[in-house]
């Protein structure tokens, strides 16, 4: 058995791995433990991978907030980044400002990062019509993502059609009924492959220890590490 967080981390690692040498530097923003775990999993398999964690508590290369992160992105030196949103719509717009009368922290450079980084993975663990909407109430950032990963499914982005395509679901069930936007889908939707025994060993071993240093609550909840 595996936790959902472990499955999502393995999907993140495999997504980035498919881009091979075109994904040399992966950056992960603050409060993003699952993308961080996936990136750390890939680094265990590819030691040459450069990994920058904005949430890192010790040895953080970003000493001046996010300024260095933005500088690197502007120079084309970040290959993969992750963005989320209070709302994500079928045209891959994200909303980090306001929705349903509520205010959120704000876009904080997401519009810049969406355009500057070569491949952006949209990530939101909650998969519901509240989050995946026909049209966001406010466009914080618009772009062409590499993929959208949620707690229920993996979507690819069709740049020419400006439309998502469902690639796999994490468990059997009706995804369309809980997705607020329309999307393309194969006749038979495959299940997302489970983490391999090797991936689980890495996640529950060295990666769990690494995560405990920077995401202690997450490591305690998923792997019971204090």
Are the beta carbons of 96 and 107 closer than 8 angstroms? yes
Domain count within the chain: 1
Mean pLDDT of 170-176: 94
User: Across the chain, what does the average pLDDT equal?
Assistant: 92
Mean pLDDT of 43-51: 95
Instruction: Identify whether 181 is part of a domain.
Output: yes
CA distances in angstroms from 209 to 61, 118, 203, listed in the order given: 20, 30, 9
pLDDT at 61: 66
Contacts 24+ apart (CB under 8 A), 188-194: 192/7, 192/11, 192/153, 192/154, 192/168, 193/10, 193/14, 193/168, 194/2, 194/7, 194/10
Instruction: Identify whether 133 is part of a domain.
Output: no
pLDDT tens for each residue of 154-166: 999 999 999 999 9
Instruction: Identify whether 25 is part of a domain.
Output: yes
β-strands 94-95, 87-89: how paired?
A: antiparallel
Instruction: Identify whether 87 is part of a domain.
Output: no
pLDDT tens for each residue of 192-205: 999 999 999 999 99
- Say whether pLDDT at 59 is over 90: no
Instruction: Identify whether 136 is part of a domain.
Output: no
Q: How confident is the model at residue 130 (pLDDT cuts 50, 70, 90)?
A: very high
The pTM (predicted TM-score) of the whole model is: 0.94
Instruction: Identify whether 21 is part of a domain.
Output: yes
Q: How confident is the model at residue 181 (pLDDT cuts 50, 70, 90)?
A: very high
Instruction: Identify whether 167 is part of a domain.
Output: yes
Look up the domain containing 56 and give its range: 4-81+106-125+141-223
Contacts 24+ apart (CB under 8 A), 98-102: 98/137, 98/138, 99/136, 99/137, 99/138, 100/130, 100/137
CATH number of the domain where residue 62 is located: 3.40.1080.10
Instruction: Identify whether 50 is part of a domain.
Output: yes
């Amino acid at each position: 058995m595996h936790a959902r967080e472990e499955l999502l981390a393995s999907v993140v690692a495999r997504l980035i791995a498919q881009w091979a040498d075109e994904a040399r530097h992966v950056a992960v923003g603050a409060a993003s433990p699952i993308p961080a775990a996936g990136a750390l999993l890939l680094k265990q398999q590819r030691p040459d991978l450069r990994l920058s964690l904005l949430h890192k508590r010790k040895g953080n290369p970003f000493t001046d907030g996010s300024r260095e992160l933005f500088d690197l992105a502007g120079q084309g030196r970040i290959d993969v980044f992750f963005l989320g949103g209070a709302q994500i719509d079928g045209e891959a717009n994200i909303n980090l400002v306001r929705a349903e009368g509520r205010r959120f922290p704000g876009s904080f450079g997401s519009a810049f990062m969406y355009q500057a980084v070569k491949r952006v993975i949209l990530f939101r663990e909650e998969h519901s019509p509240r989050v995946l909407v026909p049209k966001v109430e406010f466009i914080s950032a618009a772009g062409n993502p590499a993929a959208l990963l949620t707690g229920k499914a993996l979507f690819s982005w069709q740049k020419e059609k400006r439309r998502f395509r469902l690639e796999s679901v994490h468990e059997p069930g009706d995804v369309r009924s809980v997705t607020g936007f329309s999307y393309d889908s194969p006749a038979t939707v495959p299940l997302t492959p489970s983490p391999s025994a090797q991936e689980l060993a890495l996640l529950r071993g060295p990666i769990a220890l690494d995560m405990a240093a920077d995401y202690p609550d997450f490591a305690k909840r998923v792997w019971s590490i204090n």
